[in-house]
Structure 1
Amino acid sequence: MKLKLKKDGNQSPVYNSTDESGSPFLSAKMEWNERYGSYIKQAHNWRIAAAGALAVSVVLAGGVVWQASQSKVVPYVVEVNHLGRAIAVSPAEEAAMPNTQVIMATLAEEVWKFRTVIPNNAAMDDNIKAAYKYVDSNAQAYDYLNAYYQRLDAWMGNNPGVVRTVKITNVLPDGKDTWLVYWTESESGFSNSSGNGKEQAASNKHYKAVVGITVVPPTTESAILANPLGIYIKSITWSETLQ
């Protein structure tokens, strides 16, 4: 506002109600800005800062939740002496590809579990569950074994008390991820068809299986306990051979 003097001889100052432009509205606006403009701007800046802090908090919270869901088991190797006392502890290195002997032993055991028949339901169930831990549930082998065990269940119902023993004779590589497994089976416990109550003599049969595998190193505690080597059977077929 502009200070002006009256010209009527009275020299006391009076305030003009207009600014230099002569508009009382602009004068009021300028007065408002001078008194409250800084407060309004500060409040606006604080709102922006608060919104930014909230956004950062949301991002950090999401990161914490994601990190918690990505927990992994870090295995350690503990070396002990003859008394069982730990003398060295270090993180285990990434699992390497199992060597040939380990794969051969694993496949031999799996085929033995698949084909062995025990006249005890609880023992058979345990045998089957242990065998499936090494089968890829998303591959051909899983469906093949499901169909086989359905037929086997019906066969065992018609032949109670029959025992099938399996002897693995050879395991050979047939390519990078394909193996051949050879074994002999003998079945006993059949009743003699003559009706004299005597059991038939055990008969020996020879079989060959073509097995495809894949190696997936375990990354969770449950996978380590179930299949520590990460060897999975992805395809399998078998048939009887002459020798």
Structure 2
Amino acid sequence: MNLARIFRSLRTAGSRKEPAQDGFLDGGRRTGESDNPYLSARRTWNDHAAQAASSRQAWQLLALLSLLVALAAVGGMVHVASQSRFVPYVVEVDTLGQHAAAAPAQLAAAADQRVVRAAVASFVADARLVTPDIALQRKAVYRLYSMLAANDPATAKANEWLNGTDESSPLKRAARETVSTEIISALPQTADTWQVDWTETVRDRQGVLKAPPFRMRALLTVYTVAATPQTTEEQLRNNPLGIYVRDFSWAKQL
């Protein structure tokens, strides 16, 4: 067996190219293909369609990237436009009207225990007040409701107390008697619950005591709410620190 002849034939076969694999065009057809003009035209058209499709995909990708950049730019502009560019300043003047100090207004700090203590004491005093002065009684009721949220149990209890029987409604009681309160103490029981003790005095419309003063005690659950863009100016005036009563109960001390 002639091995040299076999190796030479294999080398020749490996170096030979298939006509269909040649990438060069010769007169609209690949080198080595048939001279049939229809096949050449089909090959030319296929190459043209492939180039057009490739170009279209490139432009589509470029258009998509441009759209994403435009959306990002618009979103950034909206975000920047939504930021407040006004910095409020607080200017303090003395009794002569002269400038004393000025500084940017800062967000209100969280209410400390002294403020909450005063708020719960005021809530009890307004809820128990009975006076023949209609304007004063109305102010007390408004202050009371400024510390009540619509969906809290305390609101339903306050409605029952203020609009209930002749023995509880201050407007009905004012026709025959007055009630004054003297706050004795307001002590925190937990982080949210306060105990308020007070002395209550009931007099008739002539100012005569109807009964000796008696002690009362209440438990109030409170919470704070920070101001939001939805907070109205009236709410800020009536309850600037956002202290609300979630629930309350009171009873006479024996």
- Range class of TM-score, shorter chain: 0.5 to 0.7
Q: Is 1:213 aligned to residue 222 of structure 2?
A: yes
The Cα shift of 1:139 comes to 3.2
What is the CA–CA distance in structure 1 between the aligned matches of 2:70 and 2:136, rounded to whole Å?
55
> Does the CA-based 8 Å contact 2:131-2:174 persist in structure 1?
no
Deviation track 1:22-80 (CA, whole Å, cap 9, x = no partner) reads 254442244335656545533332233323433554566567768888x7899856352
> Does the CA-based 8 Å contact 1:218-1:227 persist in structure 2?
no
Taking a change above 3 Å as real, the CA distance of residues 21 and 212 of structure 1, as seen in their structure-2 partners, is same
> Does the CA-based 8 Å contact 2:184-2:197 persist in structure 1?
yes
> Does the CA-based 8 Å contact 1:165-1:187 persist in structure 2?
yes
**What amino acid maps onto 1:92 in structure 2?**
Q
What is the CA–CA distance in structure 1 between the aligned matches of 2:152 and 2:195, rounded to whole Å?
18
Identity %: 25
Q: 1:128 aligns with which of 130, 141, 146?
A: 141
Q: Is 1:87 aligned to residue 101 of structure 2?
A: yes
The Cα shift of 1:180 comes to 1.2
Q: Secondary structure at the match of 1:151?
A: coil
Range that drifts further, 173-182 or 145-154: 145-154
**What amino acid maps onto 2:125 in structure 1?**
W
Corresponding residue for 1:6?
A: none
What is the CA–CA distance in structure 2 between the aligned matches of 1:74 and 1:230, rounded to whole Å?
24
Q: Which has the larger radius of gyration?
A: 2
**What amino acid maps onto 1:228 in structure 2?**
P
> Does the CA-based 8 Å contact 1:167-1:183 persist in structure 2?
yes
**What amino acid maps onto 2:217 in structure 1?**
K
What is the CA–CA distance in structure 1 between the aligned matches of 2:113 and 2:87, rounded to whole Å?
24
Q: What's the TM-score once normalised by structure 1's chain length?
A: 0.67
Q: Secondary structure at the match of 1:207?
A: strand
Q: 2:59 aligns with which of 38, 43, 46?
A: 46
> Does the CA-based 8 Å contact 1:78-1:86 persist in structure 2?
no
The Cα shift of 1:173 comes to 2.3
Deviation track 1:134-169 (CA, whole Å, cap 9, x = no partner) reads 234443322322222231577456545243222222
Q: 2:240 aligns with which of 201, 205, 228?
A: 228
C-alpha RMSD of matched pairs (Å): 3.9
1:1-243 alignment runs, 5 A limit: 2=26, 20-22=32-34, 23-32=36-45, 38-58=51-71, 78=90, 80-82=92-94, 83=97, 85=99, 87-92=101-106, 95-96=109-110, 98-119=111-132, 123-151=136-164, 155=169, 159=173, 161=175, 162-189=177-204, 201-203=209-211, 204-220=213-229, 222=232, 224-242=236-254
Range that drifts further, 133-142 or 229-238: 133-142
- Structure 2 unaligned blocks of 5 or more: 1-24
The Cα shift of 1:111 comes to 0.9
**What amino acid maps onto 2:128 in structure 1?**
R
